[in-house]
Amino acid sequence: MALTHGSLFTGIGGFDLGFERVGIRTLWQVECDPYCLNVLERHWPDVQRYTDIRTFLDERPLSPDILSGGFPCQDISVAGKGAGITGERSGLWTYFHRAISVLRPRYVVVENVSALLFRGMGRVIGDLSVVGYDAEWEIIPASAVGAPHKRERTFLIAYPQGQQTDRIFQQRLWRDYRASHQTPHASYHRSQRRQGSRTQTLPRFNAFSWCENLRSLEDLRNRPDLPQPLVCRVNDGISRRLGMLGNAVVPQIAEEIGRMIMAVERNKP
């Protein structure tokens, strides 16, 4: 039986795409940004969408097996003003917590910046415990799945207390994955990209400066050694597309987490 997924703070669907790749079906999505909604409508036209995290439970959405979400990081990130998880935007965690208590999913997957560890993790773990969930977490950078940059993020998996006898992030599948990618903290100057059953090591280059050295799109087309697709800053600001990509969960990480959850389900007595 296929697992189902409810998507909070969906963005452009990073969790949804990653889970879909391992056979997990998304039942509904919650997102308010008009640009993101257009993206979701194009790629998931048959999925129910809600636009307000504060009220969507009033419409009685179906309870999923997995509830995921990368709640806003602006007040938690070291790039912000440091209001923390009680800030105006990151404080929307309260509604994530409420959704968990009402929907009672078998698994909860939370994503946020690495600074969550010292600007709100205690609150998250405490809130999960109050509604009867245990949790475990890892810091996983985008470089662990082939990206040419670090971009460390906190990924937390929670489940009803007593449900798991073995920690998901300690199971053999995760250990093998870490070994095959050097470690989740592998140098982003030597990141890897998986292609089917093969692993391709990307060439060594400075991921933070190469974009500045390209003088035109023609230069870009003549650099097959660089990972694709490429979205760069331009001289009139940051494109809308770049902003959405920057906020998105890396689908390949979601895919690996989905694969681990599926393996746990298959191994249950």
Q: What is the 3-state secondary structure (H, E, C) of the chain?
A: CCCEEEEECCCCCHHHHHHHCCCCEEEEEECCCHHHHHHHHHHCCCCEEECCCCCHHHHCCCCCCEEEECCCCCCCCCCCCCCHHHCCCHHHHHHHHHHHHHHCCCEEEEEEEHHHHCCCHHHHHHHHHHCCEEEEEEEEEHHHHCCCCCCEEEEEEEEECCCCCCCHHHCHHHHHHHHHCCCCCCCHHHCEEEECCEEEECCCCCCCCHHHHCCCHHHHHCCCCCCCCCCCCECCECCHHHHHHHHCCCHHHHHHHHHHHHHHHHHCC
Q: What is the pLDDT of residue 269?
A: 72
Q: What is the pLDDT of residue 1?
A: 65
Which positions of the chain have pLDDT values less than 70?
1, 164-166, 171-246
Residues belonging to the active site? 73
Q: What is the pLDDT of residue 78?
A: 82
pTM: 0.77
Q: What is the pLDDT of residue 129?
A: 95
Indicate the fold that domain 4-187+244-267 takes in CATH.
Answer: Rossmann fold (3.40.50)
Q: What is the pLDDT of residue 169?
A: 80
Q: What is the pLDDT of residue 219?
A: 52
